[in-house]
Structure 1
């Protein structure tokens, strides 16, 4: 028991000595700040994606209902070839909703962006079931892709 008690007494005495033992304010040096070593981590840089490439990726969601090639057939929605700058409801062999036919919309980049944000709000009574693209960057990318699908871009 003596061997166990002796180290405890010594360490208690050292702790008390370190505390100073008097009532005067401590003038002990500030505690040493131990900083963690910096670890270098290699992060693979993502390849930058152009708006056109991003737009092509996002457009894949539209492919179920729309084609975008010259002379492409209509599906549930009309072919979108050369849509930027075109009047709404202009594809002759597509059956548009009455709301779209009477909208008077010209598909400017601004109108396309507003439409792609929430189609049902832009043309109430339209038949497009797509909920919309909330992200402005995504909408701009799709519009860049659609602009590239025209005779002027070819």
Structure 2
């Protein structure tokens, strides 16, 4: 009987020890994730001026008046740091997403909707007819079309 009791106690200690080990390991993972997030956030702060510079380089018509960054910094499944923001106080229409690789010290990718890309288009490469047809197709509403032309400096 004593032998069985001793065996149960030993098994209990082994099981509890393994359980405690898993708890410790899980907390290590949580701490590591937090530190990776903190590192990503610090890197994003460092890179925000380069993101602004990248957007301004694309902005050949001087459309951008303000650039606002969202507070939340994401790390995607590929390990890239994603910084989101918007232009000219319009998060619904003029948003962007910058893709950063930790310690590359450059903007590794940038995405934005067609509406933003249109405002960065260099129309000198197209004929007047091509330009007019595209703008009419992209902005069928007269007010939107006029706003677009104002944004690229062709309408006052």
TM bin, normalised by shorter chain, reads under 0.3
Greater percentage in strand: 2
State TM-score, norm by structure 1.
0.22
State TM-score, norm by structure 2.
0.22
Greater percentage in helix: 2
Q: Which has the higher contact order (CA 8 A, sep 6+)?
A: 1
